Chain A
Amino acid sequence: EADIYQTPRYLVIGTGKKITLECSQTMGHDKMYWYQQDPGMELHLIHYSYGVNSTEKGDLSSESTVSRIRTEHFPLTLESARPSHTSQYLCASSEPGQGYQETQYFGPGTRLLVL
């Protein structure tokens, strides 16, 4: 089934550790995004990509990095986790539709807790 997947779903980690949040989509979409969201709160765009080898920073300053080596895969890495990184991270992908329509499809999210 075409979908967007994120692993892990939950992660508890100590300060200073390096972590990678995985995101994969099987919908063949070129565009992918990472958002940071505290539960029920505003969605903040931290990274996006328009295709392979394309990555851009979003509106919210982030100490994370991303890569896009394959169309279906868009991992996010934190080199040194801190308690301020505690949040939920949502991955999304999109494909243009008719006219200006473009639906964003979100993954289930990764809830990160940094101790």
Chain B
Amino acid sequence: GENVEQHPSTLSVQEGDSAVIKCTYSDSASNYFPWYKQELGKRPQLIIDIRSNVGEKKDQRIAVTLNKTAKHFSLHITETQPEDSAVYFCAPTRYSGSARQLTFGSGTQLTVLP
């Protein structure tokens, strides 16, 4: 199965600073790379994703970069705000026909300090 590692497991930043979370995976056939955000007591929600033929994608203050050769992708949050505090999960995914293999990372607890 896929081995997925997220680093760091916890991250504290000052409001306004940037945060970067890295996800390393083992399955070279993975071809879809989403990030989910789970606020305290709430359900996980997709915040950004990238396909294997794209190197970077941005959506306002968040971005995802992909290095397929090195088998890692990263979540970048700029100008962090207190509402960015949450647990973030990566979920590298391999599609083969209609079958799908998805593995969630162990999560990164981000705390934005006011």
Interface of A with B (CB < 8 Å)?
31, 35, 40-43, 45, 50, 59, 90, 99-104, 106-109
A106 near B45 with CB under 8 A, answer yes
Please tell me which one of the listed residues B100, B103, B105, B109 contacts residue A59 in the complex, with CB atoms under 8 A apart: B103
Task: Knowing A40-B109, A108-B43 are in contact, say whether A100-B93 is a contact too (CB < 8 A).
Answer: yes
Please tell me which one of the listed residues A31, A35, A104, A107 contacts residue B46 in the complex, with CB atoms under 8 A apart: A104
B44 near A40 with CB under 8 A, answer no
> What DSSP secondary structure best describes chain A's contact surface?
loop
B109 near A102 with CB under 8 A, answer no
A103 near B34 with CB under 8 A, answer yes
Residue of A nearest to B38 (CB): A40
Q: How many A-B residue pairs have CB under 8 A?
A: 54
Please tell me which one of the listed residues A42, A102, A107 contacts residue B32 in the complex, with CB atoms under 8 A apart: A102
Cα(A104)–Cα(B47), bound, Å: 11
A43 near B44 with CB under 8 A, answer yes
Inter-chain contacts of B42 with A (CB < 8 A): 108
Sorted from nearest, which 7 A-B pairs have the closest CB atoms?
A100-B32, A106-B43, A43-B104, A42-B106, A103-B46, A100-B95, A106-B44
Having A45-B102, A101-B32, A103-B34, one finds 11 other A-B pairs with CB under 8 Å, namely A40-B38, A40-B109, A42-B104, A43-B44, A50-B98, A59-B1, A100-B31, A100-B95, A102-B95, A103-B49, A107-B43
B27 to chain A, nearest CB (A): 13
Cα(A101)–Cα(B42), bound, Å: 23
Inter-chain contacts of A59 with B (CB < 8 A): 1, 103
For window 40-76 of B, CB contacts with A under 8 Å fall at 40, 42-46, 49, 51-52
